[in-house]
Amino acid sequence: MNQEIYVVIEHLQGKVSDISYIMLSAAQNLANSINGKVVAILLGQNAQILANDLLADNLIYIDHPELTEFTSVAYQDTLTNLIQANQPRVIIFGNTSIGSDVASVLSARLGLPMINACHHFENSQFVSQICGGKIMVEGIIPEPTAIITMIPGGYKPEEGKSDHPPETMSFDPPPIEDLPVKLIGYLEPDTGDVDISNEKILVSVGRGIQTEDNLELATELAEVLGATVCASRPVVDQGWLPTSRMVGKSGKIVKPKLYLAMGISGAPEHVEGITDSEVIVAINTDPTAPIFDIATYGAEVDLLDLAEILVEKIEDE
């Protein structure tokens, strides 16, 4: 039986995303348990260079002008063809704006069982995370072929990197024309602002900040600490901070020395963005908030009161 593990590589504007390397590392882990082979799948145009540091046993490269940048239908149709031809054991997608646009569609189209939100593999079994991280699901990857979407957290991107490209084979794409979904262009995020992914100290606010007005406290605290203010999605959605300050799955991945999470519950979409922090301090009045599971230090006090007192004390120093 075919034990090939396909990993669909994600890239945007000429850059391979971290999730791709995480998936490759995961695939390697699974391959060891089932005696399988990791095959990276790269779709693009003149994009072979992107394969340079992918850690895999093989690479299938599919070239077509319509695949230059990601669009859902082009990827769906191309991969349908590929999977039907080769019948791999598993196809791994990222649980992302790219992977999730394709995975379920193929599951329905090809009648392949699907496993969502996989965090890691344990021997030959999958372990997924659902309900905001509150529930773990362990089980068997159905045979003969299954689709899996992967979330970060179980493996490090470095583990999926190599110093040379894998052995490459090409595959002819099917005719791709008259696509119902077309890319018009990209809207760049406002770059005038500071890039929080490079900042060393971050004061991050979540729903717990309650009102736009309370942001002042966070700003003051950031000032005395020499830090930058950032936020989880709900705060940005309200328009209280620009998207460039958003941390998490749809925002930036940060790697500060100190991440001060104030009034943030710790939903997986946010946690995805902060696991590379050296020290995470979580302030939340809810003792069951999942943020406390990944934070280094935590306190169940009122964040507004704490911020005020911290500012005072630090100024006194």
3-state secondary structure of 280: strand
CA 234 – CA 126 distance, rounded (Å): 31
| Out of 24, 31, 67, 105, the residue judged to bind other proteins by CB under 8 A | 105
**Interface region with other proteins, contact rule CB under 8 A, candidates 29-37, 115-123, 160-168, 169-177:** 115-123
Q: x/- contact string, 40-79, with other proteins (CB under 8 A)?
A: -----------------------------xxxxx------
Q: What are phi and psi of 160, to 5 degrees?
A: -105, 10
Of residues 25 through 44, those in contact with other proteins by CB under 8 A are none
Least Å distance, CB 101 to other proteins, is 5
Of residues 196 through 215, those in contact with other proteins by CB under 8 A are 197, 200-201, 210-214
| Out of 225, 255, 275, 276, the residue judged to bind other proteins by CB under 8 A | 225
**Interface region with other proteins, contact rule CB under 8 A, candidates 46-54, 58-66, 93-101, 157-165:** 93-101
Q: What is the dihedral of CA 19, 21, 24, 29, to 10 degrees?
A: -90
Burial of residue 62 (CB within 10 Å: 0-12, 13-18, 19+) is buried
Q: x/- contact string, 2-21, with other proteins (CB under 8 A)?
A: ----------xx---x----
Q: Which of 75, 8, 2 is nearest to 39 (CA)?
A: 8
Report in angstroms the alpha-carbon separations of 14 from 38, 54, 83, 306.
23, 14, 25, 44
CA 28 – CA 26 distance, rounded (Å): 5
Least Å distance, CB 296 to other proteins, is 6
- DSSP β-bridge partners for residue 280: 259
Token pair belonging to 49? 């260079």
Beta strands 11-12 and 15-16: pairing type? antiparallel
Binding to other proteins by residue 124, rule CB under 8 A? no
| Out of 53, 63, 159, 308, the residue judged to bind other proteins by CB under 8 A | 308
| Out of 96, 145, 228, 277, the residue judged to bind other proteins by CB under 8 A | 96
Token pair belonging to 67? 């695949």
Binding to other proteins by residue 176, rule CB under 8 A? no
Of residues 286 through 305, those in contact with other proteins by CB under 8 A are 288, 292-302, 305
Binding to other proteins by residue 306, rule CB under 8 A? yes
| Out of 33, 144, 172, 182, the residue judged to bind other proteins by CB under 8 A | 182
